[in-house]
Amino acid sequence: MFADLLKVFQSRKMSALIFLGFSSGLPFYLSSKNPIQAWMSQEGVSLAAISAFSLVGLPYTLKFLWSPLLDRFVPPFLGRRRGWLLISQVGLLIAIATMSLQSPAKALQLLAINAFFIAFFSATQDILADAYRTDVLEKPELGPGASVFILGYRLAVIFTSYLPLYIAEKTSWNFFYLLMALLMLVGITTSILAPEPPREQPPRNLRDAVVLPFVDFIERNGLKKALLILLFITIYKLGDAMVKNLSTPFLLDQGLHFSQNDLALPGTLSIIAAIVGALAGGAIMAKIGVNRSLWIFAIIQAAGNLMYFALALVGKNFLLMLAAINVENFCSGLESAAFVAFLMSLCNQRFSATQYSVLSSLVAFSRDILVAPAGLWVQAIGWPAFFLLTAVLALPGLVLLPFFAPWNTSEISDSSSMSRPGLDDEDLKQ
């Protein structure tokens, strides 16, 4: 059994997935998260503008609008998944390289437009990476495939979250973005060399590509339950998103005045904490199931956010800052593991690209749009009350769980053997 598992991890597919995970994770923070927040903060951009900059992440929220087009049309090279992947990655390389020409203090609007294009091509790459992963993996490979993809993704996040603070201090932010553009060559090379997934007939027309995924989701869940699920997906990680949106300005010039070097090591360790949290979450889910994990991890996430509340009360303290960053990220990893498993369980294999993009767009709506006024809230109530609010906002999703994921529901605890609509059941009739 162990030898069979090693063979799975040593396959060409897994090599492709870890590099595609890296390519998918690389641009995510470059448009509206830690690096660009730190750059703007360093150049004196206001806290309200930094917070509102999350709006450039709108493509992550709206990516479901063009995901059916990526299912319906096939580029003339490399097939439906790899061809579109290559196009999106070349777009990313150009858009990220252009950031090396920007200056937040002199032309904030140009910076925002540039960041928007990064978010658009990044969101497109995410749609295609999820679809490729779904198409290329056999059922026994789903668990290992998800693991290596997340590993690659998190390694990229190390490059783009806190390590940039060190690179920028030693060189410049313009050089950092040029370096990140060159790293997109990893994804471009992988898309060219990756194994081709099994060829399937694209949807017959745009109507089928657009309508059938939504019809299927509502028919399987019923309208009321479907709406409650969508509301839950939107608010479940809101508290975590609020912390992540302003944690960097809080720790730097807009709050405690730590230096960029102070945050380089703790921030890098926090990625490891998130990986450990995700792995621990997977192990716990194997014992207690997805439903109960959603309940427990939401409460743990709220407790993790209180570490920032304590730091805001105490003030500048390196050890407490180190603990706050890593505890919050560990808790976030736990919560994310259960949340992703839940999202996957909702998707029909036949429509997984469009359905998953719709569900993940709701997550992005919470992460990028609902958090936009956070800077104004900080100015109104102060940092301690703000972080206390984020802990409270981590809990409302629990109110909705009894309607579709009750605590006492009997379920298969091993997430790797969860029933997946369209994979275990007969395909929907056209």
Number of separate domains in the chain:
1
Six-digit token string for 24: 């998918």
429 assigned to some structural domain? no
Q: 51-55, 57-61, 129-133, 392-396: which range is least confident on average?
A: 51-55
Q: What distance in Å separates the CA atoms of residue 211 and residue 214, rounded to the nearest whole number?
A: 6
pLDDT in the model for residue 286? 66
Of 70, 106, 76, the C-alpha closest to 88 is 70
56 assigned to some structural domain? yes
Q: What distance in Å separates the CA atoms of residue 259 and residue 256, rounded to the nearest whole number?
A: 9
| Mean pLDDT on 413-428 | 42
336 assigned to some structural domain? yes
Give the domain extent around 13.
7-417
Q: What distance in Å separates the CA atoms of residue 161 and residue 227, rounded to the nearest whole number?
A: 34
pLDDT in the model for residue 140? 56
Six-digit token string for 76: 């003339």
| Inter-residue contact 280 to 412 (CB < 8 Å) | no
Q: What distance in Å separates the CA atoms of residue 258 and residue 249, rounded to the nearest whole number?
A: 10
Q: 12-16, 26-30, 151-155, 277-281: which range is least confident on average?
A: 277-281
Q: What percent of the chain has pLDDT over 90?
A: 12
| Inter-residue contact 195 to 12 (CB < 8 Å) | yes
SS in 3 state form for 84-108? HHHHHHHHHHHHHHHHCCCCCCCCH
First to last CA, the chain: 40
pLDDT at position 86 over 90? yes
The residue to which tokens 């730091």 are assigned: 311
pLDDT band of residue 284 (cuts 50, 70, 90) is confident
pLDDT in the model for residue 337? 75
pLDDT at position 9 over 60? no
pLDDT band of residue 10 (cuts 50, 70, 90) is low
Q: What distance in Å separates the CA atoms of residue 254 and residue 47, rounded to the nearest whole number?
A: 7
pLDDT in the model for residue 124? 93
Residues in contact with 76: Cβ distance below 8 Å, sequence separation at least 6, in sequence order? 83
Of 236, 275, 209, the C-alpha closest to 66 is 209
CATH number of the domain to which 150 belongs: 1.20.1250.20
| Mean pLDDT on 389-409 | 81
pTM (2 d.p.) = 0.72
180 assigned to some structural domain? yes
What are 114-133's pLDDT values in tens digits?
Answer: 989 999 999 999 999 988 87
Q: What distance in Å separates the CA atoms of residue 195 and residue 12, rounded to the nearest whole number?
A: 7
pLDDT in the model for residue 411? 47
pLDDT in the model for residue 162? 63
pLDDT at position 347 over 50? yes
What are 177-198's pLDDT values in tens digits?
Answer: 899 999 999 999 999 998 887 7
Q: What percent of the chain has pLDDT over 70?
A: 87
424 assigned to some structural domain? no
54 assigned to some structural domain? yes
Residues in contact with 221: Cβ distance below 8 Å, sequence separation at least 6, in sequence order? 229, 404
pLDDT band of residue 429 (cuts 50, 70, 90) is very low
| Inter-residue contact 240 to 391 (CB < 8 Å) | no
430 assigned to some structural domain? no
pLDDT band of residue 300 (cuts 50, 70, 90) is confident
Pick the residue with more confidence: 105 or 423? 105
What are 376-388's pLDDT values in tens digits?
Answer: 888 888 888 888 8
What are 91-122's pLDDT values in tens digits?
Answer: 999 999 998 888 887 888 888 889 899 999 99
| Mean pLDDT on 297-304 | 85
Angstrom distances, CA of residue 361 to CA of 245, 337, 355: 17, 17, 10
pLDDT band of residue 421 (cuts 50, 70, 90) is low
425 assigned to some structural domain? no
